[in-house]
Amino acid sequence: GDSVTQMEGPVTLSEEAFLTINCTYTATGYPSLFWYVQYPGEGLQLLLKATKADDKGSNKGFEATYRKETTSFHLEKGSVQVSDSAVYFCALFRWSLNTGNQFYFGTGTSLTVIP
Amino acid sequence: KAGVTQTPRYLIKTRGQQVTLSCSPISGHRSVSWYQQTPGQGLQFLFEYFSETQRNKGNFPGRFSGRQFSNSRSEMNVSTLELGDSALYLCASSLALGGGPSDTQYFGPGTRLTVL
């Protein structure tokens, strides 16, 4: 079945450092891939998404590329800020009219950025 | 456009009681999903509703149930509460079943349930 494996945290970086959070998936076909971010005490916010192979999703300086050959969707940012401190979730969505939508989330990676 | 709203935001109950949580999806969204988030288990899918019908269900006991109304608003109910039910319950909405690549799931702020 479908699944998502996400890099374990926590991750601590200094401000302006480069960020990579690894995410790999197991799935047949072409599901949609997402990154969500959760700030303390809040729900999940959509960060970016990609819906087909080689698509690059980007938002607020974050990027992730849908790599079918390596079944990966790694999250990257060139220069992190203190305000990026949050928990990041990789997710796989399979939209299906017949079987119902199916959603799979990684375990989340906590990021702390220190000044 | 208003986002997904959940009420109440915080709830304290005792073991054995039951609780009902409410979710209003984004206007025009017809699919509503519920998740349980705990520090130990992470984010776990509870169920999805579309057109007032449960379409998918996660691996939770029958104490967890839900329903959806004709206006797409949804409620979830947990009966005979246990200490382990303490969690953040998140609701998410998307346009449709089989929404396809243009669809996205948007989350509400969650209801923090504490069982004493």
Q: What is the pLDDT of residues B68-98, one digit of tens each?
A: 999 999 999 999 999 999 999 999 998 876 5
Q: Is the pLDDT assigned to residue A115 strictly greater than 80? A: yes
Average pLDDT for chain A: 92
Q: Residue B12 contacts by C-beta under 8 Å, 6 or more apart in sequence?
A: B113, B114, B115, B116
Reading the block at residue B38, the tokens are 């705990």
Residue in B closest to A90 by C-alpha: B43
B55 closest CB neighbour out of A44, A52, A100: A100
Contact: A36, B97; criterion CB under 8 Å: no
**pLDDT tens column, B27-60:** 999 999 999 999 888 889 999 998 899 988 889 9
Q: Chain B: which residues have CB within 8 Å of chain A?
A: 4, 6, 31, 33, 35, 42-43, 45, 48, 50, 55-56, 90, 92, 94, 97-110
Residue (of A62, A65, A68, A103) closest to A86 by Cα position: A62
Q: What residues have CB less than 8 Å from B55, skipping those under 6 apart?
A: A100, A101, B31, B48, B49, B97
Which residues have C-beta within 8 Å of that of residue A25, sequence separation ≥ 6? Answer: A2, A3, A4, A5, A31, A33, A71, A72, A73, A90, A92, A104
pLDDT at residue A24, rounded to an integer: 97
- Taking residues B14-31, report their average pLDDT: 95
Q: Count other C-beta atoms under 10 Å from residue A81's C-beta.
A: 13
Question: Which pLDDT tens digit goes with each residue over A52-81?
Answer: 899 999 999 999 999 999 999 999 999 999
